[in-house]
Amino acid sequence: MTILGIETSCDETAASICKDGKILSNTVSQQIIHSKFGGVVPEIASREHEILLNTVVDNTLLESQIDLCDLDAISVTQGPGLVGTLLTGISFAKGLGIGLGIPVIPVNHLEGHIFANFLADESLEFPFVCLLVSGGHTQLWSIENMGKYLLLGETRDDAAGEAFDKGARILGLGYPGGPEIEKASIGGNPNKIFFPRSLLSKDSLEFSFSGLKTSLLYFMDNFKETKTLTLKDVTASYQMAIVDTLVEKVKRALNKTGFERCIIAGGVAANDCLRKELDKALSKKHIIFPELSLCTDNAAMISYLGEIKNKIGEYESIEFSALPNLKLN
């Protein structure tokens, strides 16, 4: 079975071919135009997808040596995401699917991130805890089986990725904030400044990052770089405050569920400091991180999950629409 996956939930234009559970190609075009605005401009993102989609799909077909006539189905991100960018991808997928006479399968972007971990580790089995952490979401899930998901906790305000983006803006760094802060932290002392960790009550699995961002803002109002306190120290300390919070909540979730496995999904999963701290804190557990190309928005996870849904017949008619606020369950 051969599936073309299309992902346009935000500012990455992506296409992928999955054949019999194997990814043959995974093409992603990052819209760098947004960097000068310090964040994604929805209208510009939609127009960029329109410009890039044909080329991205052509490239992924060429790389995988698959012809359009070889496709059994097309899977496309239905949500969550920006409504305009979602509609661009869905319209493209539907037009192509109708022209080829093959099914078009809507895929939940969040579920795609979870299933990307099956590509990272073929031995992965249910059940497991999932930390889903990105620019738009910070959630802990109990994943008992496909389609059987229990939300354990989520952020009350900013997502972790959003805290990185807003922090980077305060620090005068570029966009996206996560990689910029990680790069600026190299050589810094993560214990130089204590920024608040909002852990809420003792057993809480919820998150809050708005106070951390405010603390950084006030700190930078009076910050002057010296030999004993550098910007690297500030960025490293801010990053560690986010990472410490995520690690503590994962530990609590594993203790609560009794599961031995945990997967990390979403763009923030690419953060090297998070990976190292989780490995250190949970050395007796089985922690799975996707490879870096599967952490950020990509179509490999969409084509892979689309193939699974096509096999079990779990998809609607082609009349589906974009759902920008789509939940996982």
Question: Does the pLDDT of residue 34 top 60, yes or no?
Answer: no
The span from the CA of 127 to the CA of 327, in Å, is 20
Pair 230, 195 in one domain = yes
176 and 301 belong to one structural domain: no
- Is the N-terminal amide bond of 176 cis, ω within 30° of 0? yes
Kindly state whether residue 318 falls inside one of the protein's structural domains: no
How many CB atoms lie under 10 A from the CB of residue 95?
A: 12
Residue 61 domain boundaries = 2-113+295-312
Assess whether 162 and 263 both reside in one domain: yes
Number of separate domains in the chain: 2
**Cα end-to-end distance, the chain, whole Å:** 27
Q: In this structure, what token pair is assigned to residue 138?
A: 């910070």
For the stretch 135-156, pLDDT in tens is 889 999 999 999 999 999 999 9
- 296 φ/ψ angles, rounded to the nearest 5 degrees: -75, 175
What confidence score (pLDDT) does residue 315 get? Answer: 76
- Name the pLDDT band for 33 (thresholds 50, 70, 90): low
Same domain for 135 and 11? no
pLDDT of residue 317: 82
Banded model confidence at residue 36, pLDDT cuts 50, 70, 90? low
The answer to whether residue 218 scores a pLDDT higher than 70 is: yes
CA 256 – CA 263 distance, rounded (Å): 16
Q: Output the CA angle 8-78-209, nearest 5 degrees.
A: 75
Query: Which strands form 12-19's sheet, in the order they lie side by side?
Result: 22-30, 12-19, 2-7, 73-79, 104-108
SS3 for 41? coil
Question: 6: closest CA among 316, 325, 265, 303?
Answer: 303
137 domain residue, yes or no: yes
Q: Check whether residue 33 and residue 97 sit in a common domain.
A: yes
Residue 97 has pLDDT above 70, yes or no: yes
pTM for the predicted model, two decimal places: 0.93
